[in-house]
């Protein structure tokens, strides 16, 4: 069976400076509704759109069969 992967970057600016369980749950349910299954969540420094620095964020990896 073949799989397809999707990585969603979530930056602090998009999550109000702090990740709450409710916000994370909303993201997970949104992608689950599209047929994606959670594979991994990784804390990382995610580059912003402007400037050389990054901000704390999450990389959420989803998987689905194709």
What is the rounded average pLDDT for all residues in the chain? 82
pLDDT at 41: 93
What confidence category does residue 16 fall into, taking pLDDT thresholds of 50, 70 and 90?
A: low
What is this structure's pTM? Answer: 0.74
What confidence category does residue 45 fall into, taking pLDDT thresholds of 50, 70 and 90?
A: confident
In total, how many domains does the chain have?
Answer: 1
pLDDT at 50: 57
d(CA 64, CA 35): 7
Closest CA to 63 of 28, 31, 39: 39
* Residue whose structure tokens are 């990784």: 42
Three-state DSSP state, 28? helix
What H or E segment, with its residue span, contains residue 65?
strand 54-65
Q: Please state the rounded mean pLDDT for residues 6-22.
A: 71
Three-state DSSP state, 46? strand
Domain range for 24: 3-65
What H or E segment, with its residue span, contains residue 43?
strand 37-47
């Amino acid at each position: 069976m073949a799989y397809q992967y999707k990585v969603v970057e979530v930056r602090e600016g998009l999550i109000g400076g702090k990740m709450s369980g409710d916000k994370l749950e909303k993201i997970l349910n949104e992608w689950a509704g599209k047929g994606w299954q959670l594979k991994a969540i990784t804390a990382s420094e995610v580059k912003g759109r402007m400037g050389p620095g990054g901000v704390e964020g999450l990389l959420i990896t989803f998987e689905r069969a194709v």
